[in-house]
Structure 1
Amino acid sequence: MDFAGAYSAENLSFLAEGLVVTLIVAGASIVLSFLIGCVVGIIRYTQLPVLSPILLAGVELIRNLPLLLIIFFMRFALPEIGINLGLVAATVTGLTIFEAAMIAEIVRGGLASIEKGQIEAARSSGLGSLQTLWHIVLPQGLRRMVPPLVSQFISLLKDTSLAVVISLPELMHHAGIVIGHGYTYTIPILLLVALIYFSVNFVLSVISRRLETRHV
């Protein structure tokens, strides 16, 4: 095990470049999947005719597909019909579609967990359906969603490593290149990558616990 060689300035800089790509992809996917998931989850909760059943079918389909298959589809299948996405765009699109389906169910479940008595009280006080959703259901539901949402975001961050199969220059891809320069780098580099993933995810977990405690 050559820790000194593995942790050379050049290698660390190269890994940092991969980490930046990982964070960019994860950040973009988190924002997009959250926005789309919220919209889909709210529609599912309100049970809009026609649209809600269609979205249910789409969510169930996506949730039961491997994420790797979706990433492969975005990168290699779409060009067959004239849609060419770059490495980053294909990964973000695949992650967003997959995670949005997961988040939609979290949002729907969070909203459905609000006691019906509160909804009935709001309606009896003169609030309309949308007003009740906006002022009563959503604020409480979002607070209850924080732990599962953060857990899903952590999974998303780790899932960015799957894009190594399409040669996205993210952290694991760069780690593999460094390891390829010398077999004695394998354990030091993998330990460092594990520490990086742990550190980022631990920060997200701490933020989740503080948000949850603040709203208890």
Structure 2
Amino acid sequence: MQSFIDAYSWVNISFLLKGLWITIEVSVISIILSYIFGAILGLIRYVKIKYLSAIVGFVIDLIRNLPLLLIFFFTYFGLPNMGIRLSIMASAISALTIFESAMLAEIIRGGIESIPKGQMEGARANGLTFWQAMRYVVLPQAQMRMIPALVSQFISLIKDTSLATIIMLPELMYHAQIIYGQDTNYIIPMFLALAVMYFVVCYALSVVSRVIEKRVKA
């Protein structure tokens, strides 16, 4: 019990919270960027642009079948050999964005394809251009169907930030390792603290998504 009391001192908790803030910051930026790029890639695959869609599809399949850890290594250790030097945070955000964009692209493409083709045909028959029909008719319906899958992927992204500890990103897991590295009696207390913090952040995202889904349906 004493080890728990010592492990949860204000100094250690505040240190963990600093790591949690980095985790949230990296996650938010990566979610925004990956959603933007994922939407673009998903649309390119959906509209089937000659050659381009096939190339994009190959790249997406390639990235989706690579370990995320390998992409972390590439952005941090590989890019400098190509003359591109990124900070630790920029490397982590880049790796997460690359990997998650490929994942989201397939979710978005699948969501769009789940909408009956009659919706697009009806919109075009009423005078809308393809992109107008996509924006005002197809995408709003597809977005509703994609919410659960998107949120699940965003939650995975938040948890995947822990892999960035391999390139020494000072996120939550890295800070916990520093704490229990000083005293091995803190290992279990730190794991419990990590579990609680990750759960709170991920559960909060789930709650927000359900609120948004209900408001959109209302």
Report the CA distance between 1:178 and its aligned residue: 0.3
Q: Tell me, what secondary structure is at the counterpart of 2:69?
A: helix
**Alignment match, 1:39:** 40
**Alignment match, 2:9:** 8
Q: Select between 106-115 and 119-128 the one with higher mean Cα deviation.
A: 119-128
Please say if residues 147 and 212 of structure 1, whose CA atoms lie closer than 8 Å, have aligned partners that are also in contact: no
Count of equivalent residues: 216
Distance 2:41 2:145 in 1: 18
**Alignment match, 2:69:** 68
Report the CA distance between 1:88 and its aligned residue: 0.3
**Any gaps of 5 or more consecutive residues in structure 1?**
none
Q: Give TM-score scaled by structure 1 length.
A: 0.97
Per-residue CA deviations over 1:80-123 (Å, capped at 9, x if unaligned) read 11111111010000000000000011111111111112212112
Matched, 1:30 2:35: no
**Alignment match, 1:199:** 200
**Alignment match, 2:106:** 105
Distance 1:66 1:165 in 2: 13
Taking the TM superposition and a 5 Å limit, the aligned residue runs for 1:65-214 are 65-214=66-215
Q: Tell me, what secondary structure is at the counterpart of 1:215?
A: helix
Please say if residues 146 and 211 of structure 1, whose CA atoms lie closer than 8 Å, have aligned partners that are also in contact: no
Q: Select between 186-195 and 94-103 the one with higher mean Cα deviation.
A: 186-195
Q: Tell me, what secondary structure is at the counterpart of 1:120?
A: helix
Please say if residues 14 and 174 of structure 1, whose CA atoms lie closer than 8 Å, have aligned partners that are also in contact: yes
Report the CA distance between 1:35 and its aligned residue: 0.5
Per-residue CA deviations over 1:51-71 (Å, capped at 9, x if unaligned) read 111110110000000000000
Report the CA distance between 1:146 and its aligned residue: 1.0
Distance 2:74 2:135 in 1: 37
Per-residue CA deviations over 1:14-73 (Å, capped at 9, x if unaligned) read 111111111111111001000000111111111112211111011000000000000000
Please say if residues 175 and 189 of structure 1, whose CA atoms lie closer than 8 Å, have aligned partners that are also in contact: yes
**Alignment match, 1:21:** 22
Q: Select between 28-37 and 124-133 the one with higher mean Cα deviation.
A: 124-133
Report the CA distance between 1:124 and its aligned residue: 1.6
**Alignment match, 2:57:** 56
Q: Select between 80-89 and 156-165 the one with higher mean Cα deviation.
A: 80-89
Distance 2:124 2:112 in 1: 16
Q: Tell me, what secondary structure is at the counterpart of 1:83?
A: coil
Letter in 1 for 2:166: V
